[in-house]
Structure 1
Amino acid sequence: MSDASHTPSSSPAGTKRGPAEYFSGTAWVTMLAGDNPTDCTVGDVTFEPGCRNNWHSHPAGQILIVTAGRGYYQAKGQPAQLLRAGDAVSIAPGIVHWHGAAPDSLFTHLAINPATSQGVADWLEPVTDEEYRAAHG
């Protein structure tokens, strides 16, 4: 199958597959705002069921606003949180975390990254299958 067949059907032009080195599974990213005078980016990210990103942190923090589906957010050393449409997570600068879809649901969120002139993300190792299973087990 081509990559286009996996693109969420309601996604606008400009949607790109999330880099494989940062995701376990397939995610689609559409940048909605960037290179703007606010020094902030906004990405619309859709994770296919079971997909999650690697452990990572943001120098200036991040805000996630869930718009569809079910998924998880987990800060290192803390229990995972189940997220549903309408939920929001405010992540402090430097907090190592991951987020991704439940095993049986697409998961879409807006990822708001402030002060991108400080950097956007510091990517770390993948979330292991064991860590992921513990999030929803």
Structure 2
Amino acid sequence: MNVNEAIKILKEKGYKATGRRKDILTYFSQEDGYRSAKDLIQYLEKQNEGISFDTIYRNLHLYNEVGILETTELNGEKLFRMNCSNEHHHHFICNLCGRTKEIDVCPMDEVKQMLANYMIEDHKFEIYGLCPACQEA
């Protein structure tokens, strides 16, 4: 997803595309991987002194709610990234740099067979480790 597609989604859902919201979208469109609210604030403070945590968190959760950002949790911290696909997918996430790589396989077919009498409502499958660049460093 790019910034223009994200802005279109915001407008379709009845939200304004303010300058600050565009700055947030620009940040995530340039990042390869999951980033924290703290990472975003550090980026935005260079342009918008005094930006509030409340503003950041409200927008991050709004973007997640409308499908612009996707989230994960790593070491107890919620992380965000631009939604790369509307299709079902999973990720490898680098523990050092946060880069992600989409994984096209999903273990749910096998799991559904093992849990045939259970009602599965949702799932999340992520693999954590070191990307090739971080292994070399």
TM-score, normalization by structure 1: 0.31
As a proportion of its length, which structure holds more helix? 2
Q: Which has the higher contact order (CA 8 A, sep 6+)?
A: 1
As a proportion of its length, which structure holds more strand? 1
TM-score, normalization by structure 2: 0.31
